[in-house]
Chains A and B, each alone.
Chain A
Amino acid sequence: MKARRLETAVFRCLAGMLAAIALCGAATAQDDPAPLRAGCVDVAPLCTVAQNGEFHGFMVELARAIERHTGLEIEFEAVRIEDVIRLQNEGQLQILPGTPRLDTLAETNVTSEPVAQSETRFFVLLGNQDLVESGEPEGLNIAYVERGAGANFPQLFENNRVESRNTLDQIIIDLLAGRADASINSELGMSRLLRNLRLDSRVVAAGDPIASEPRLVYIHESRADVLGPVNDAIAAMQASGELAEMRQTWGIDAPDPVPDVLKVGSVGFPPNTINNADGTFSGFAVDALRNLADRAGLEIEFVAIDRAEFRAGPSSGTYDMLPLLGIGPERRERMDFTIPFETFPHSIFTRVGEATGISDLDSLEGRKVGVGAFNMSRTVAQAHGGLDVQVYNGPAAVLNALHTGEVDAILFVSSAMRKQIKEAGLARAIEEVSPPVLSVDGAAALRFGLGSVRERLNAVIPGFLISEDLQDLRQQYFGPPVFWTQTRIYSGVSALAVLFLAMIAFMIWQRLQRYRQQLEIDQQQRELEREQRASEELAKLVTELERSNRELDEFAYTASHDLKEPLRGIAINANFMTREIEPEEIERRVARMVELTQRMEKLISDLLYFSRLGRGESKSTDIDCDHLIRAIEGELRETMQECNASIVIETDLPVLHADPSKLKTVFQNLIVNGLKYNDAAQKAVEIGFQNDVIVNGSSMNRVFYVRDNGIGIEEKQRDKVFRIFKRLHPDSAYGRGTGAGLAFVQKIVEGYGGKITFTARPGGGTVFYFSLPLAQRENQASTDRRENVPP
């Protein structure tokens, strides 16, 4: 595409040079050339007369091109179609550009090289192209217009049913209805009609042209001198592609096929098309077409075009579409339009304070009115008559003309001019007369041959028209500056939502923070409590340790003193022995020494046992107390018989859970003490178990008692009773002993977490109360027993 463009540019350049040469030649050949007169028969797209009297069409444009290339002047005048041949033959008209070969002119006119081909083609319903692809169809119903091009192909009559119709319309209807398989028509007329009927997407030309007639420029023989330059110009235009483009524009040639990506030209006509500096495109029309293309599933790309290209209109050589263009009858001959989706109001603008009395075009009569060159206003203003219409290129020039006083008023597309005024900073100098005086429908413009594209766009335009998208675009590009635009509302709501969320988040965060602080405080408090507990425990431990140390000291003191006693005795006896001479005395001392040695051994073993009681290495089992006591009784039987003693178990005894040997030590020592320190004739030890008892003013639960009828214990000796090796009586009184028994008992009981105490009075016996670990099942059993046992 690019290469072709370059090529085109080079050719144009060459053509320009050739034209210049031709112009020089013409100038020298004829100093004062009279304008060539041309007739306009008002047949689109060849030549039509607009409202404002201007001539349009392929013939006109071709003539203008020839003018540019040759320097000739060509003036058109409207003539009736039945008069044109006569006037040309008579020489009143001297040039007839771009007509098919006309034999009736041959005698008085010369003809140029061909400028185009007039083709005759098959037309079929879309999808039926293969019926005529070969060029020699068979068995078809073929229609043609009477006296039209189709009548000239007799060979088709042999193999097909060929029938004539009165009009093109009838042929199209029959094709659509299936009453004709194909038709034979002149390309130009049929294509144009189909396009105007918007049926060009349904009925299409197919196969190669059946016939091709050249289009020529007829020049009256009186001006045969210009034939050479005209032919040169034609050659140059052919070479540069200018002619081909012209043919494309006016639909003379069959159009190029639909490209994959449609090129949309943007000339930069704010606010409809805005060509941004960074190469992007925006504007109402641009965005609207983007939206439409998106809805229709079309791929488009925008390209910047200049004003010349814009005026030339879309063609396959430059661009395929314009996003939005006012629909005018003349424009329809050069391009295709979608259904309108926008209206262009055109307003009158005046300098501030000069609008009085101006309300419509009538009120502008006799005044100078500025318009844009390629603007619907111009056509309307010129067509209105009575106005002094001044034409300027582009809105800036139009506005400038008003501002500088060149014109009294301007007529222009309202929105575009408002924008121009604002940008020029002339809002206080220029005022708009409302309401607008003219409203032009606007639609997307397409080059010929894009019928399918047009139809796809047309299919989505109604939906687009009622969409919010369109409202938004209008608001965005034409609306008054509204602060609360949709976007801003969305942004505002979003911002509020974000704020709200942020507040919630903040609150949550605060809560969390507070929670964390609380946790920390709790933690610290717990730590403090832990430390306090630890220090309390430490203090307790220290106290315990101190007590333990003190006890150890006392124990060591007592033990060492007591252990020394027999040792000293041995020493004393040994010492005395050395001085003795009597054999009996010596013998007595040796015996005493042996005795002391035994006592010492007993003390040491007791001490060892006592120290071992402190260690928790014993194994606990369930022990039947009755059984245990009976066993002890059995061991003591001889002694008991000697001293007339008895052991009575007064209550049911619970099963204990403890080390059997320790339990035996406890009961044995208490029983033996009860019998040993006893002067009664009937020595008795009574054993029992009580749930509740008050001993020395304090309550005890679940305790054993061992009661004797012995000598009792003096109150002043109370705190000596449990001291190890402490005896209350000399050996001579109640026999020997180490004085360790009750120390053992206390240590065992306390070792099990129990307590031991006693009540006694001298001569009145002693009762020891103590607790021991009960077996698991006894905890329940003892509750039951409580009711059965007398206190």
Chain B
Amino acid sequence: MKTDPTILIVEDNDDDYEACYHSLSKSSSLANPLHRCRTGDEALSYLLGTDAYANPRPATPCLILLDLNLPGTDGRDVLHRLKIEPTLKLIPVIVMTVSDDESDLRECYSIGASGYVMKPIDIDGFFQSIARLHNHWFKVILQPAPNEKEDEEELDW
């Protein structure tokens, strides 16, 4: 096994990040390092290796947890940008939504999200969501290592 790839969390809200961070780190089997970006622009810099992240360029994350509601460049813009970048478009993006109502979910998938987690008021529910997410992506689905499969554009995961 190689080094566990980073999970990128794009979240401006400290409370939400804390909750997210806790739920991921509490999952014992999840050893992946977490990186937080506060804005959409920062996330894109991180992913594209520009500005502050140009040198050294960080490794491509294996999963992005993306908040849609960001100041300035928001989650939608970020996702849109990712999907036109060949090296980034295969990264699963889990959108963190405020509600699970239909319009929100439709929006997530229409912009190319791989899944969603709802930002819950009940933090235990949030933990469970993250845990399910973790199991799904890291245990159930055998996922090719992103680094190795960088150029396999045809991969259907």
A interface residues (Cβ-Cβ under 8 A, vs B):
557, 560-562, 564-565, 567-569, 571-573, 575-576, 592, 596, 714, 716-717, 720, 726-730, 732, 739
Contacts and interface: CB of A to CB of B under 8 A. Distances in A.
Secondary structure dominating the interface of B: loop
B73 interface: yes
B69 A729 contact: no
B69 A569 contact: no
Nearest to A739: B71
Contacts of A565: 13, 16, 69, 98
Nearest to A578: B123
Given A561-B69, A717-B72, A727-B72, A572 B15 contact: yes
Contacts of A739: 71
Contacts of A561: 69, 98-99
Contact of B12 (A562, A564, A571, A730): A730
A55 to B, nearest CB: 146
Contacts of A571: 121-123
A564 B98 contact: yes
Interface residues of B, number: 25
A729 B15 CA distance: 17
28 contacts: A560-B99, A561-B99, A562-B69, A564-B98, A565-B13, A565-B69, A565-B98, A568-B16, A568-B121, A569-B13, A569-B15, A571-B123, A572-B15, A572-B16, A572-B18, A575-B123, A576-B22, A596-B15, A716-B77, A717-B72, A720-B74, A726-B71, A727-B71, A727-B72, A728-B71, A729-B71, A730-B72, A732-B38
Contacts of B38: 730, 732
A572 B124 CA distance: 10
Contacts of B22: 576
Contacts of A727: 71-72
B99 to A, nearest CB: 8
Interface in B89-122: 98-99, 103, 119-122
A715 to B, nearest CB: 12
A594 to B, nearest CB: 13
Interface of B: 12-16, 18-19, 22, 38-39, 69, 71-74, 77, 98-99, 103, 119-124
Nearest to B70: A730
A389 to B, nearest CB: 140
Given A569-B15, A572-B19, A730 B39 contact: yes
Contacts of A557: 103
Contacts of A732: 38
A718 to B, nearest CB: 12
B72 A729 contact: yes
Nearest to B20: A572
Contacts of B77: 716
Given A572-B123, A576-B123, A730-B39, A716 B19 contact: no
Contacts of B15: 568-569, 572-573, 592, 596
B117 to A, nearest CB: 13
